[in-house]
Amino acid sequence: MRLYAAVAVSGFRRYATYRVATAAGVFTNTVFGFVIAYTFVALWDERPHLGGYDQSQALTFVWVSQGLLAAAALLGGGFQEELQERIRTGDIAVDLYRPADLQLWWLAADLGRAAFHLLGRGAVPVAVGALAFELSLPADPLRWLAFLLSALLGVVVGFALRFLVALCAFWLLDGQGVNMISALMCMFFSGMLLPLTVFPGLFGEIARLLPWAAMLQVPVDVLLGTHSGTGLARALGFQVLWAALLLGAGRALQSLATRKVVVQGG
């Protein structure tokens, strides 16, 4: 446990060294926040209560999304390419023989990264958004706590998905295609482009059940107070379920991969 804590801390530190890159990222998130916020204002002017949100909730959705973008790695990044590179070059064999679990190791590192991104890249855009627009951020500290928990679960689900994708590199010569599909699904079905509650009919219902919904839509809804009481428990349970399922699948794939490495020697 101490080991993984240390890995998480070094994951945090590693990203903390890039100050200029962080500032550049915050700038970009803020610009995108403004652009999307204005389109949402126009959209909610035409259709108040679209997707069950009022205008200030919709705007909160925009800015919190921009704040979570880096932490939840909605646009990719993080460890995925690095792990694939290690698999491609065969360095992964070293990792597999280390007295630490591969999946937990990378999860710890990714949680460290996410923690930095939540602070370093999340706070400023949300603050700017709150200054420029009327947001409905909760005053209840318990709601914030629930949001943090939900965001954490979202990060774990995102990690589990990308870990699965990264491990495909054991069998595919070139992981780019899978990476692309994974990034596309994440972009569209996380709610990053448009809240999933706005998606129409059956399509929307299915979209809200997919694992990508656990990455952004659910945490933002928790913050907005859409879920309360048993609803909140159900929302968090939905995330836990996907996290467990996907981490389990990753574990199974990892043991298959280990066998492959042991048999073929890399």
Contacts to other proteins by CB under 8 A = 18-21, 23-25, 27-28, 31-32, 34-36, 38-39, 41-43, 46-47, 50, 173-174, 176-177, 180-181, 183-184, 187-188, 193-194, 198-200
Closer to other proteins by CB, 62 or 108: give it. 62
Q: Which residue has the tokens 């880096």?
A: 70
Cα 73 off chain centre by: 5
- Min dist CB 141 to other proteins, Å, is 29
- Min dist CB 201 to other proteins, Å, is 9
- Min dist CB 257 to other proteins, Å, is 21
- Can you read off the two tokens belonging to residue 257? 């991969």
Closer to other proteins by CB, 159 or 199: give it. 199
- Min dist CB 203 to other proteins, Å, is 9
DSSP character at residue 139: -
- Min dist CB 226 to other proteins, Å, is 19
Q: Which residue has the tokens 């240390």?
A: 6
Closer to other proteins by CB, 2 or 47: give it. 47
Closer to other proteins by CB, 158 or 191: give it. 191
- Min dist CB 224 to other proteins, Å, is 19
Closer to other proteins by CB, 67 or 232: give it. 67
Closer to other proteins by CB, 99 or 201: give it. 201
Helix 55-69 and helix 217-224: axis angle, to 10°?
A: 130
- Min dist CB 24 to other proteins, Å, is 4
DSSP character at residue 133: S
Q: Are 215 and 74 in contact (CB under 8 A)?
A: yes
Cα 213 off chain centre by: 10
Q: In Å, how far are 216, 231, 244 from 237, measured between CA atoms? A: 15, 10, 10
d(CA 109, CA 2): 13
- Can you read off the two tokens belonging to residue 127? 């603050």
d(CA 141, CA 59): 21
Q: DSSP letter string over 88-112?
A: HHTTHHHHHHSSS-HHHHHHHHHHH
d(CA 192, CA 152): 17
Closer to other proteins by CB, 24 or 262: give it. 24
